Structure formats: structure tokens, C-alpha cells
Structure 1
Amino acid sequence: MILSHFWGLIFHPEEEWSSIREHPPGIIRLYLGQVIWLAALPAICTYLGTTQNGWTLPGSDQVIKLTETSAAYMAFFAWLAILAGVAVMGAFIHWMAETFGSKVTLAQALAFSCYAAAPLFLAGLCGLYPSIWLTIVAGTIAASCSAWMLYSGLPTFMQIPKEQGFVYASSVLCIGLVVLVSIMITTVIFWGIGIGPEYIQSH
């Protein structure tokens, strides 16, 4: 379902956002039918890429991989972090709606959060081939696309003026950055208690 909405959001965003607002999936259906699978995409692809393909450092011919156990732990926690991130963003969008004179349900807010993040989910496919440059390029494109969907879609979805939508979207973006930093700090904490990457080097 999300892919059909995704293409609609690219080619006729106003109509598609209005359709999502009018017919949002329920929270349970959204999570069980879409979010858990989309969140698993980057986690599984990165697991496969870091354990099967590996990567090389500049000036070295050594292939570096992660052990399957440590990669599985990291993929699992990344999956949980993405699920939590979507929930936090949806809850914030819902909480802020009344401030900007909009009335949406939590299910509608979570749906917006999920669909706006779709490019970031799809960028997770690049995890199959671990490369810092590929990650930077794909991440930049995906983040730009999500930001465009956020700024262009929020006024339509919330049925508010574009001027208010810009401020609203900027607030959502700031919270997204806070969530990202929180995930990074949590990752460092887990590494500190021993739940971190274990490397294998080979020629």
C-alpha cells in the first residue's frame, strides 16, 4: 500500500495527501501491515551487507565484515529504533496539530509520519553494499525527498495555510533531528556496555 501512495505523493501529492487524510489505516494495521516491514528493510539489508559483502578501507585490500551475532544485535536494535522513531514523530505531529489550528487523529498523524519517511526506508536498500560514499549519496537524496514531502505535504494534510505549514514542518524537522541524535547517543551507550560491532578481516 505504501508504495502505491509513494508514487502518488511524487506525481500528484495534493490529491494523495488528501486521500491519506480521509482514509488513514488504523494504528494497528499501519504498524503490523506496513511500518514493521519497512523498518525491517534497512535493518535486514545492512545485516546482509555487513556480514556477506563487507567493505574495504581506502588504501587497503582487506575486506572487513561483522560477525553474524553482532550484526544481528545491531540490526534488531536499529529496527526497534526506527519503529520508535516513527511513533515519536507521529505523536509529536498529533500533539502539535491543535497549536496550528488543525484537527487530526493519532492514526492520521502516524500515517503522515510513515509516508513522509518512505524515501528513508527505501534508501536502506543501499545497506546491501556497504560504502560510505553510497550511504552519503543515498542518504542525502532520501533525506531531501522526505524533507520535500514534509514541507509540501503538511499544509495540505493538516488543511492549514502554507505559512503555518512551513513553521509546523520546521518544528517537525527539528524533532526529527532530536530523535536522530537520541538514537546515536543510545547506540554509543550500547557499545559502551559491550553490545557493539565485532569485526572480521580477510583478504
Structure 2
Amino acid sequence: MILNHIWGLYAHPKEEWETIEKRHESLMYSLAHILTIALIPAICGYYAAAHIGWTIGVGEPIKLTETSAMVMSVGMYISLILGVFALAYLIHWMAKTFDSTPNYTQSLELAAYTATPLLMVGVTALFPVLWFVVVAGMVAVCYSVYLLYSGVPIMMNIPEEKGFIYASSVVTCGLVLLVSIMAASAILWSLGLGPEYLA
């Protein structure tokens, strides 16, 4: 089953990382996991933006047109998937520095399962109140970072001391990647590809 590691990552992450490392599923398995989990924020974000409306402070909820919400959701879905692949590439690229020799599939597994809480928290968009989504997002970021720190030594087969430095490097690169995606979004919005609001 595509989603069979999710419960283990929340209930007993270190043991689950060991299970993932022993099995080494195929590239298609990791891809199916990413494609499925990334649907959560895309679908919930679309529904919230087009049908519920976002509440920011006091006042009426802000809604987008259905077409605009669909375009934004598809863009978010593609960006999330590309972001996970870019993170996997960075993990793979940095491996030699830390005396690790993973293949790309192992790096993708680490990136995909580390990103899982960040993608699953997209369900909070169904209660589109800004402060609530931000708090839930921060909790998801913290847990994803924890998963990364606990998973790197196991998945990359390196000592925990090196794993800590490796994971810290990945977090730094991930933050740069996130800022790059946000900058690209701002540029696209300034070129007229921003959202269309309902009056």
C-alpha cells in the first residue's frame, strides 16, 4: 500500500525509518507516495479558496474565483512535487561530503517521507483561518525537521554525529529552496498571474 509508512512515522519514527531503509522500495513507490500526499494541500486549498473563503482577522472571508483557485491549486501541486524532487537531489548531491553513497531512490525516500507532515497539514486549509493554519504549519515544519534529523543517519548509513551536520545542511538548503519558490511566486504574481478575487 502506498501510504503504509505514514502511521509509523508518527507513532515510532526511528523504527519506521529502519523499516524503510531495509525495504528500499522502488522509485515508482516513492513517486506514488509523493503524488498522492501532495493532493491533500492542493485539493483542500482549492476548496477553501473557492468555496469557504479565507478569514484574515475580522471581516468577510476572502474568496477566489473557481478558475483562479484551480490554477493556484494546480500550481501548488506541481511546486510541491518539484520541491520534494529538488530536496532529494540536494540530499543526494551532499551525500559524498558526508561519506555516504545513497542512490537517488534512497534520497527521494528520505525527502518524500520527511515532507509528509508538511503535505498532510494541508488538510487544515478546510478551516481557513490564517492563525490556525500558520500554527498547524509551524508544528508540521518542526515535526518534518525532527523526521529529517532522525532519518538521515539511518537512511544514509552514517554515524549520528555526521547525520546531525548532514541534516542541518539539508535544512539550510531546504530553507533556501523554500525562499526561492516564494520569490518565484511573487515574480509570477507581479507579471499578472496572481489570483482573481470574488467581489
| TM-score normalized with structure 1 length | 0.92
The alpha carbon displacement at 1:2 in A equals 5.5
In the alignment, the residues of structure 1 paired with residue 90 and residue 57 of structure 2 have an alpha-carbon distance, to the nearest angstrom, of: 42
Distance 1:97 1:16, change over 3 A: same
**Which one of 151, 154, 172 corresponds to residue 153 of structure 1?**
151
Give the equivalent residue in structure 2 for 1:52. Answer: 51
Aligned AA (2:36): W
The alignment's TM-score, normalised by the length of structure 2, stands at 0.93
Which ranges of structure 2 fall in alignment gaps of 5 or more residues? none
Q: Does structure 2 retain, via aligned residues, the 8 Å contact 1:2–1:115? A: no
Q: Relative to total residues, which structure has the larger strand share, 1 or 2?
A: 1
Give the distance between the partners of 1:127 and 1:200, measured in 2 at CA. Answer: 18
Which residue of structure 1 lines up, in the alignment, with residue 14 of structure 2? 14
1:100 aligns with 2:98: yes
What are the superposed Cα offsets for residues 17-57 of structure 1, whole Å, 9 maximum, x if unpaired?
A: 122122222223321x2211211210110000011110334
Please provide the CA RMSD for this pair: 1.5
**Aligned partner (choices 108, 111, 134) of residue 109 of structure 2:** 111
1:115-139 Cα offsets, whole Å, 9 max, x none, are 0111111100011221111111110
Matched with 2:176 is 178
Residue 89 of structure 2 corresponds to which residue in structure 1?
Answer: 91
Q: Does 1:38 align with 2:37?
A: yes
The structure whose RCO (Cα within 8 Å, separation 6+) is larger is: 1
Q: Which residue of 2 is the match for residue 125 of structure 1?
A: 123
In 2, Cα distance between equivalents of 1:44 and 1:67: 15
Unaligned runs of 5+ in 1: none
Q: Do the aligned partners of 1:100 and 1:164 also contact (CA within 8 Å) in 2? A: yes
Aligned pair count reads 199
